[in-house]
Every structure is written in structure tokens, then in C-alpha cells.
Amino acid sequence: MAIEVKRCSMDIINIVEDLERRIFRPSEIYTRGFLEWLCENCSQSSYVAVKDGVYVGYIITCIDRPGQGHVVSVGVLPGYRGMGIGTMLMCSSICRLRGIVESIVLEVRVSNEVAINLYRKLGFRIHHRIPGYYSDGEDAYFMVLNNGYLNQAYLTCQCNP
């Protein structure tokens, strides 16, 4: 069965919270209150992925300043990785932000090579390293998608004009 991508909303906050707990380390999990704020304020460009009736991943993307989107959180359950779900979620947010932002940013663990490769494939470039970004002390890469790379991402993601 196909994977369905649905807009994230407050009526499925319990599902998003459950995914968050099942995907990320305990030290990385957002509080319920923050997840509610994100779902309420960033729902226009945030999505969940459903496969065979099971919620398997999500992405929360906000506009954190005029002209800039920010992928705050994206994750896929371990048993569903490698199926293109992360790409589908990223592309859903990228396409939704078309014509609204001039750049999209995100932070990613320097050790998360799979995610870094996905983001690079979509046109994100490492802008700089953030020392000790994560609570366990690991550094993050601050990655940016802008300029011609953003237009290329629209093509890669097959965004409608």
C-alpha cells in the first residue's frame, strides 16, 4: 500500500507525541507543551506519514522569520526507514513553502550521515557547525537550502508551480 502524507494538526497531537517518543532519544524529546505550540503555529507546512493505516513519521517546519523556513523536527520510525518516507516528508514541506520563503534551514547531528545525505540530495548545504548543540554534547551542522539549490529542490520534489 502507498504512503500517505497528511497535514499535521492539533487533533493528532497525541500521535505526533507518540512518534517523537518512539523515534528520538529521551534527551531529544520535545515537551508536550512545545509540540502543541509547534502543531498549532506551524501546521501549514508540517506533515505526518501514514503507511497501511500506521503513522510512521512526521515533520514540523515553521517560518521562523520572514522569508525563512525552519525544519524543527523530522523523523521516521526505525522499521520504516529506507522507504523514501523522509524524502516525502521533506518534499511536502519544501513544496508547501514554495513562493513563501527564500531559504529553509535545519540542524542535524554531525554523526547522522543518513540524514545529512538526504538533505544534501535535496540541495541543503552545510553552512556551519554548532558546537555542543545537543544535550549530550554532540555538535550539529546548520544546513541551508537557498538560491539556485532551492529551485533545484522544487524540481527534485516535483513541486507544482
pLDDT tens digits for 89-100?
A: 999 999 999 999
pTM for this one? 0.95
In this structure, what is the dihedral angle of CA atoms 125, 128, 132, 136, given to the nearest 10 degrees? 10
Predicted pLDDT at 28: 87
Separation between Cα atoms, residue 71 and residue 107, nearest integer Å: 8
Percentage of the chain lying above the pLDDT 70 cut? 99
pLDDT at 27 over 80: yes
pLDDT level of residue 43 (50, 70, 90 thresholds)? confident
pLDDT level of residue 1 (50, 70, 90 thresholds)? low
Q: CATH classification of 3-156, choosing from 3.40.50.12160, 3.40.640.10, 3.40.630.30, 3.40.50.720?
A: 3.40.630.30
pLDDT level of residue 63 (50, 70, 90 thresholds)? very high
**105 vs 36, higher pLDDT:** 105
CA nearest neighbour of 124 among 83, 99, 159, 156: 156
Q: How far is CA 161 from CA 21, 97, 105, 144, in A?
A: 36, 11, 21, 22
